[in-house]
Chain A
């Protein structure tokens, strides 16, 4: 039985940075709550990457590699979860928002589209952190990894900068996917295994030599992983590519570049969508 017939609550909306923050939190919410409601995601995105990690661990054990290499593989496995999140969710997010009909509503709302994209990134990042922690925890428990953290502060900084650069790249890819559609998606799928390889998910990138390792450093996870390993294991500094300080500086530059590029492309996409009228249309 309907008892209320008229609205009585007035609206006094926030604008500016408050609106920006509200939008980020609101768009992050579906990702976080979705994880709670669809627990199968945790299985597929935690257990499956961990299987590949275990494979490397047994190879290292078989060849009697130093124990720190097992830790390297576990950290790499944990970071794989973030790359998978970028590849399969973050990068195609705007495209799916268009297909589901949300994108026009996001554009006509008074918030910034950048806040929506940041919300997607924050939601994906927080949801994936849980998976990464599970992988590290399981790995440490099952394989007795000898952690030797030299600086918690630097480790936290490296992780945060790696995430900023990585999700900046994800935001950039999201804009590109929307613009180029399936073509962009197919190219990134093609790059999945090469990215795993050159990022050094399961071994130190120093093994590549300076030129290849430098080129691989354009991917945020490469330097992030290298710095984290240096800060987490006793033999890390000896196997590191560059010093942690230089890698922090490079990650800072990558974060700024990727986030700025994401903003540029997002503005371009929005402009193009409004000029051509096709980017917000669903395929029928």
Chain B
């Protein structure tokens, strides 16, 4: 009998990709995941947070039976995803951001019916659930619109319906709001929260690089970078790591290249992130205490940088990421390229 107490469990999970170059070159290896150990409870809304290239999608691919791990194992609903994919598949579903699933010639309702058939839903149940879900996500008036005529946001709502139509025990949402406008993202988040409330035993694994989304939705969050899980806890506990620190956001006139190194070494500065913007520089600072700010201001003055805006704020998951990785999410993405 499978151990079904946990929705997801990974044990020392690893994945290495072999990358082939030219014909004569030896294949290179890229570590996408290394020693990932996670336990996700049934009914939990769990977030995987990390920059592009961190290994989030690789982890999801292993869990949904699309990819075999090179080491360790992954259990989903109590079944080994690599060895028992036919037990895992009826219990899961997946929605990815920016996916263009289905056929443009079919209407929204027809596409959803088709995918429902692939999961064995009879016509009556399929149509009843399609109609209910379309109504809930506000897509009922587009049920008979060809999919090719939908906007990106509406298409993603259809994808969300596709994922939930089968009432999966575990649903994997891989950047589900990627590229959507604020309103469409909000609708999708609202729907997912409602589904979790209505179906308490169901589990969501969300990957996102939107920190606010993870903070808003998730019971627990794992921060992942370069294939490794760096921290895993509730957003509140993760942010408490920084509660003793003073966190400031500054906007200053453009800083010269190379000036950043000076700030990192100032007394009391724990982390310093410089985001060059159009006509200004944004600085994220994690300081040991408020009084360390005077040193930063003095250093800015000596670099002829004028302060345009200064804001002290509560720690966010982005700050936790900076604390753990030593760079912002954007910088980590650049570094992985």
Contact = CB atoms under 8 A, between A and B. Distances in A.
B143 to A, nearest CB: 13
Interface in A238-277: 273-277
Interface stretch (B46-54, B86-94, B230-238): B86-94
Contacts of B195: 7
B90 A275 contact: no
B83 to A, nearest CB: 11
Interface stretch (B5-13, B35-43, B114-122, B285-293): B114-122
Contacts of B129: 7, 9, 11
B135 A2 contact: yes
B304 interface: no
B66 A280 contact: yes
Contacts of B135: 2-4
Contacts of A12: 122, 125
A22 B100 CA distance: 23
B198 to A, nearest CB: 5
Contacts of A26: 113-115, 117-118
Size range of the chain A interface in the assembly: 35 or more
B68 to A, nearest CB: 5
Interface string B52-93: 000000100100111110000000000000100110011011
Interface in A64-123: 100-102, 104-111, 116
B125 A108 contact: no
Nearest to A6: B198
A19 B117 CA distance: 7
Contacts of A14: 120-122
B102 interface: yes
Given A9-B128, A9-B129, A101-B99, 11 more contacts: A12-B125, A13-B121, A33-B105, A34-B103, A38-B105, A101-B100, A104-B66, A107-B65, A274-B65, A274-B66, A274-B85
Interface of B: 15, 17-18, 58, 61, 64-68, 82, 85-86, 89-90, 92-94, 96, 99-103, 105-106, 110, 113-115, 117-122, 125, 128-129, 132-133, 135-136, 138, 164, 166-167, 194-195, 198
